[in-house]
Amino acid sequence: MSGFKQFLMRGNVIDLAVGVVIGSAFGAVVTALVKDLITPIVGAVVAKPDFSALQFTVNGSRFLIGDFINALLAFVLISAAVYFFVVLPVNLLMSQMRQPDPISKKCTECLSEIPIAARRCAFCTSILATSGH
């Protein structure tokens, strides 16, 4: 039982639980946005006031195309929000944190660019201080 308690108290399990709750609430907000705001606008364009009620029948089978379009719009909006507000900023932050290793340095005497491993400047021939000694 102590192993289970230790598993539950790890930070990533709690973070995951918080993420699921927030994601669920965000999904409900986006679903309401699609149902209450976007659907009536699209419904007005197709001259049907209740867009979610759009359907067609083939051999007695009803196809609820309006509900499918509502779900598709909600999916696209949630995906776009996750991409623009989570993925893009995290990728930008990670690229800024990742600094490439320097391949050159400036000579302390003439300020010319020289290879990082150089011990003498190729331009002014001054002896450079070696780092780490």
How far, in Å, CA of 13 to CA of 9, rounded?
Answer: 7
DSSP state of 35: I
pTM value? 0.52
Same domain flag for 84 and 33: yes
Same domain flag for 51 and 8: yes
- Total structural domains within the chain: 2
Query: Which of 1 and 133 is assigned the larger pLDDT?
Result: 1
pLDDT tens for residues 93-128?
Answer: 888 887 777 888 888 889 899 888 888 888 898 888
The pLDDT mean for the chain works out to 82
How far, in Å, CA of 66 to CA of 68, rounded?
Answer: 5
Same domain flag for 121 and 82: no
pLDDT reading at 133 higher than 50:
no
Same domain flag for 20 and 59: yes
Range of the domain at 85: 2-97
Can you give the pLDDT at residue 132?
Answer: 45
How far, in Å, CA of 29 to CA of 22, rounded?
Answer: 11
Same domain flag for 74 and 109: no
Can you give the pLDDT at residue 50?
Answer: 64
